[in-house]
Amino acid sequence: MRKILSYFALSLSLSGMFAGSALAQGASFPDWLRNFKSEAAREGVSQQTIDAVLGGISPIQRVIDLDRKQPEGKIGFAKYKSNVITQGRIDEGRSLLRQHWNDLKRIESQYGVPPQYVVALWGMETSYGKNTGGFDVVDALATLAWEGRRAEFFKKELLDALKIIDQGHTSADNMRGSWAGAMGQCQFMPSSFRNFAVDYNGDGRKDIWGTRADVFASAANYLSKSGWKHDERWGRKVSAPAGLPKGLETRKSISEWARLGVKQVDGSPLPKSDTIMASLVVPEGGNGEAYLAYDNYRVIMKWNRSIYFATSVGLLADLIAKGAPTHLNP
């Protein structure tokens, strides 16, 4: 039986929980849920799944609180980078790269994404599967679909979550993730799961919660279908003169950047290329660290539209790659 999640004690009624809030002005959760069940049935979700999964859910106040919380002040890139690229994360990433090397190389041959990028994303998203989120995804998505701020978006994600359960990929109780519905070791939203998740081990389930090969292949498939170029890097840290145009809006060939005085960070010339395009990115702003961001950097940003995140994934991938088997160093 589905357990009922609620931030407040179960003895409180829904009306008491939300009295005086903006939610009280719209449909009650039971009324909303009744309408949603009818819509789910029209969308092809089986009645058995609807009854079993939606039969005992209630809103999660903590999810509403997090959704309404104003963004905190932005930390600088140097602090962000030191938080996410720790020596422990690098060492563990190298160890896991070696442990899963054969699977990762087979996945690379199929999807064209080198192993270090898959492992780096895995490490950034969930610390290699150790921190996948503590919320029941269905309950969280139902809360957000009812709560109203982005109701249509979350209603579609909830429908996708039910279809995933209906297809037997996981159970509702096992569908755990973030408060906003990102699921599993690669933190896919349900729509991303349906578009990119892979049953790599062939057991009939796309298991991004517990099967590492499925996690790796799903991440690689996401990057591949988003435009990953196997023969290019993500980018590189560089030394750049002041006054050059910065930002992803400006794209020039590596050779053009070299003519403008951009060099590798050790002062050596950039590789010559008139075809590889790049943008000059300074995540910290001002005179902070500068990076040439190639097209694969833009692909990483389709996963998470954050310059901090994309740059850190690239840097972590480079560091993890140094731990690859020496005879097959990527």
Q: What token pair was written down for 61?
A: 């106040």
Tens-digit pLDDT profile for residues 186-231? 999 999 999 999 999 999 999 999 999 999 999 999 999 999 999 9
Tens-digit pLDDT profile for residues 204-216? 999 999 999 999 9
Q: How far apart are CA 189 and CA 195, in angstroms?
A: 10
Largest CA distance in the chain: 70
User: Residue 158: what pLDDT?
Assistant: 98
Is residue 73 predicted with pLDDT exceeding 70?
A: no
In angstroms, the Cα distances linking 50 to 32, 80, 126, 146, 153 are 14, 42, 30, 17, 20
Instruction: Provide the whole-model pTM.
Output: 0.89
User: Residue 3: what pLDDT?
Assistant: 40
Tens-digit pLDDT profile for residues 105-144? 999 999 999 999 999 999 999 999 999 999 999 999 999 9
Q: How far apart are CA 13 and CA 329, in angstroms?
A: 59
Is residue 8 predicted with pLDDT exceeding 70?
A: no
**b/e code 29-50 from CB counts within 10 Å (16+ = b):** beebbeebbeebeeeebeeebb
**Helix residue ranges, H only, the chain:** 14-18, 29-42, 47-54, 61-68, 77-84, 87-99, 101-111, 115-126, 137-147, 151-166, 190-196, 212-225, 254-259, 295-303, 307-321
* Cα atoms found within 13 Å of the Cα of residue 214, Cβ hemisphere only: 22
Q: How far apart are CA 271 and CA 296, in angstroms?
A: 17
Closest CA to 154 of 165, 168, 171, 140: 140
Tens-digit pLDDT profile for residues 279-292? 999 999 888 999 99
CB proximity list for 110: less than 8 A, separation 6 or greater: 217, 220
Q: How far apart are CA 203 and CA 310, in angstroms?
A: 32
Lowest mean pLDDT among 8-22, 56-70, 300-314: 8-22
Q: Rounded to the nearest 10 degrees, how much is the dihedral formed by the CA atoms of 171, 173, 178, 179?
A: 120
Q: How far apart are CA 27 and CA 25, in angstroms?
A: 7
Q: How far apart are CA 287 and CA 196, in angstroms?
A: 38
| DSSP assignments along 203-237, one per residue | SS---TTT-HHHHHHHHHHHHHHTT--TTS-SEEE
Closest CA to 241 of 273, 304, 287: 287
